[in-house]
Chains A and B, each alone.
Chain A
Amino acid sequence: MVAKPSVFWRSIISDLKAYAFLAPYGFFFLVFILIPLVYGFALSFYSWDLFTPPEYVGLQNYDKLLFDDSRFWVATQNTLIFVAESVPLLIIVPLMFALILNRPFWGRTWAFIAFISISFMPSVAIIWMWRWMFDYHSGLVNFYLGELGLPLQNWLTHPRLAMVLVVIITTWWTSGFNTILFLSGLQDIPNELYEAAQVDGGSRLAQFRFITLPMLRDKMILIGALTVMASFKMFDQVYLLTAGGPMGKTRSLAQYLYESGFRDFKIGKASAISWLMFLMIMIFAMFRVVLNWRSARESS
């Protein structure tokens, strides 16, 4: 009879010990993740400029954004265009790099560094460098266009070309990151499959089509989802390259949020934008769940 409370107390004590291990991280998680989430949601129902007292306005921030703010919809449209254009490139180019780097060849290490190290470089340096290359007067690209007798382009002020440029730079800058993910996917494919295919006389193309692609399928869905999420919150590229111009045609949602919150000091509006962004990302996440579910059903 005496043992029972002691077992109880011992379990309490072991719980407390575990919580002691969690406590330091728990503090940072609470203060910088959990509380901000709840607080940000609450702020989205207020009108507040940080200086005067906040005023409760109900759904007005959302109402304005959704039904009375063409800039919000243009930013949404721009973000979706960017996602739609950058994600396929950020799948195809890294997959190509990974297929190359997955084979042994002389100079592999150097090719590896050239393809991958770029995505670890600071955005400011990378983007200013490109901005200069595409400058109308002093840029390298227009110089060579002129040499070839082609019409010079005003890359940064052309509504369509500016976004194309953002997509090109993003592909060049971040492909290395997805290459790493594809490489780890390729290395998980058992070698026996390729050996068996070689015995049966399958060509390299057939091996790619019938072994590599199906085996990479889940990885590709994962990488696709991660890339959609990363492209969705794109900020540095447009902020540094075009500042959202020309005529707001490259302004992304993340940039609109930054401008609303930290230039116009509309804290409530910025919070509302962040939650609308969250909802849009959740819709993409749903696609991923459905895709996962389908591939799980097919393989079982």
Chain B
Amino acid sequence: MIARTGLNRIRTGLKDFTTSNLWKRSRPILFSVAVIAFAVLWFAPILWIISISFRPNSVAALYPVTWIPDPATLENYETILLHPSRGVNIVRSFGISAFVCTAVVLGVLLVSTPAAYAFARLKFRGRNVLFWLIVATLALPVQMFIVPVYVILDRFELVNKLAALILPPIGPAFALFVLRQFMLAVSTETEDAARLDGCNQLQVLVYVVVPQIRPALVSVALITFLNNWNDFLWPLIVIYDRDIYPLTLALNDVRSAYHFTFEAGTVMASFVVAVIPVVVLFYFAKNYLIRGISLTGTGSTM
């Protein structure tokens, strides 16, 4: 009986507390603190490699972990960016990746936009069959394509050339699908008006449709860019020559060219060079990325 009243008192006490002003006011703060703490913990490995990259190699890989590098130095970035050696040239590979990914993005947008327009607006024989045939191939794993595409590129002597990195990623229907969905969501009134004013289909596409779906174009461009920037398997297969290594292959080389324990600072500096652009891009473009991904459920272009 006494225990019961005690329990009831605790219960009412708790209820008083959870309805009190103090709790109501502090709850969001506690929630924020807990989530931020967890987020920092989740992100800690990245913070850790950033910290290591600013330490001299002699003290880079020492435990226990310290977060603020002391002494701090930029020599690792100097080594990796200004004095390429042992066959690894991060700056050149960075440039190659930037060039390849830009070319892929331009190619994808140039061929996919008119095709998406045709599927969204024009009427022609075989439209639905063709569309579903193309979209169905999106569900196939990349492994279905790597062997035959390699053989085809080999036939045309394109293996170990940058074209081998630029051309095949234009094939998958990811961009076509996203752009068509966006076009279907845009009203056709302005397009009809433009047609009445004597625009042909191409002019309608370029001057009326493209400006209206600009957010979708940005989404597609970003996702395509990041996917190719990060791709490892395909360059591993088609590029042998270190002179044209994209960034992912160069990073893999860093690992074998520099000693992981005794030159940890240098290795981590090269990783940071690869990771930071992604974080910055993500910070500025996250809404575009999210829109593109949530529409298709896939960020995969290969």
Q: Which residues of A are interface residues toward B (Cβ below 8 A)?
A: 14-15, 17-19, 21-22, 24-29, 31-37, 39-40, 43, 50, 100, 103, 105-107, 110-118, 120-125, 128-130, 132-133, 135, 137-138, 140, 143-144, 147, 172, 177, 180-181, 183-184, 222-223, 226, 229-230, 232-233, 235-236, 239-240, 253-254, 257-258, 261-262, 267, 270-271, 273-275, 277-278, 281, 285
Asked if A33 and B252 make an inter-chain contact with CB atoms under 8 angstroms apart, the answer reads no
Is B63 a contact partner of A140 (Cβ separation < 8 A)? yes
Report the count of interface residues on B (CB-CB < 8 A). 92
CB-defined contacts of B123 to chain A, threshold 8 Å: 14, 18
Given contacts A22-B115, A33-B145, A123-B232, contact A130 B278 (CB under 8 A): no
Q: Closest CB of chain A to B37's CB: distance in Å?
A: 10
Q: Which residue of A lies closest to B156 (CB)?
A: A31
Task: Determine if A31 and B152 form an interchain contact, defined as CB atoms under 8 angstroms apart.
Answer: yes
CB distance from B15 to the nearest CB of A (A): 13
Interface: B137 (CB within 8 A): yes
Q: Which residues of A contact B35 (CB under 8 A)?
A: 100, 105, 107, 111
Known: A107-B32, A128-B271. 5 other contacts (CB 8 A): A25-B111, A40-B148, A122-B274, A122-B278, A140-B63
What's the Cα separation between A130 and B255 when bound, in Å?
13
Partner of B279 from the list A34, A113, A271 (CB cut-off 8 Å) is A113
- B132 on interface, CB distance cutoff 8 Å: no
* Residues of chain B lying within 8 A (CB to CB) of residue A103: 31
Within 8 A of A (CB), among B58-113: 61, 63-65, 107, 110-112
Q: Is the CB of B39 within 8 A of A31?
A: no
A43, A103, A105, A253 interface centre (most CB from chain B within 10 Å): A105
Q: Which of B4-12, B166-174, B190-198, B210-218 contacts A (4 or more CB under 8 A)?
A: B166-174
B46–A118 CB distance below 8 A: yes
Note all chain B residues with C-beta closer than 8 A to A181: 293-294, 297
- Measured between beta carbons, the chain B residues less than 8 angstroms from A147 are 64
> Which of A129, A183, A267 touches B294 (beta carbons < 8 Å)?
A183
Supposing A262-B237, A271-B148 touch, asked if A184 and B171 sit within 8 A by C-beta, the answer is no
B31 touches A105 (CB 8 A): yes
**Partner of A106 from B32, B46, B229, B236 at Cβ < 8 Å:** B32
Q: Which 6 A-B pairs have the closest CB atoms?
A: A32-B171, A184-B294, A36-B148, A18-B124, A25-B115, A114-B39
Query: Which residues from chain A contact B31 at a C-beta distance below 8 Å?
Result: 103, 105
Nearest opposing residue in chain A for B110, CB measure: A24
Chain B residue with Cβ nearest A34 = B137
- The residue among A28, A112, A236 with the most chain B CB atoms within 10 A of its own CB is A28
* B251 lies within 8 A of A122 (CB): yes
Instruction: Please give, as numbers and ranges, the residues of chain B lying within 8 Å of A123 by CB-CB distance.
Output: 230, 232, 248
Q: Tell me if B25 is interfacial: C-beta within 8 Å of chain A.
A: no
Are A15 and B232 in contact (CB-based, < 8 A)?
no
Interface centre among B107, B172, B176, B294 (most CB of A within 10 A): B294
Interface residues of B (CB under 8 A from A): 28-29, 31-32, 35-36, 38-40, 42-43, 45-46, 49, 61, 63-65, 107, 110-112, 114-115, 117-118, 122-125, 127, 130, 134, 137, 139-152, 154, 167-168, 170-173, 176, 201, 205, 226, 229-230, 232-233, 236-237, 247-248, 251-252, 255, 260-261, 264, 267-268, 271, 274-275, 278-279, 281-283, 286, 289-290, 293-294, 297-300
Closest Cβ neighbor of B270 among chain A residues:
A125
Q: A39 CB to closest chain B CB, in angstroms?
A: 4
Which residues of B sit under 8 angstroms from A125, Cβ to Cβ? Answer: 49, 251, 271, 274-275
Most chain B CB inside 10 Å of its own CB: which residue of A267, A270, A274: A274
**Minimum distance in angstroms from B241 CB to a CB of chain A:** 16
Closest chain A CB from B289 CB (angstroms)? 8
A120 touches B278 (CB 8 A): yes
Interchain CB contact under 8 A, B40 and A114: yes
Contact status A115-B42, CB under 8 Å: yes
A105, A130, A226: the one within 8 Å of B298 (CB): A226
| Contact between chains at B111 and A24 (CB < 8 Å) | yes
Which residues from A are CB-within-8-Å of B298? 226
CA distance A281 to B38 in the complex (A): 35
What is the chain B residue whose CB lies nearest that of A184? Answer: B294
**Bound: A254/B236 CA distance, A:** 14
Q: Which of B64, B134, B147, B279 has most A Cβ within 10 Å?
A: B147
Q: Could you write out 11 A-B pairs with CB less than 8 Å apart?
A: A25-B111, A28-B171, A31-B152, A105-B35, A110-B36, A111-B36, A123-B248, A181-B294, A183-B290, A235-B232, A274-B143
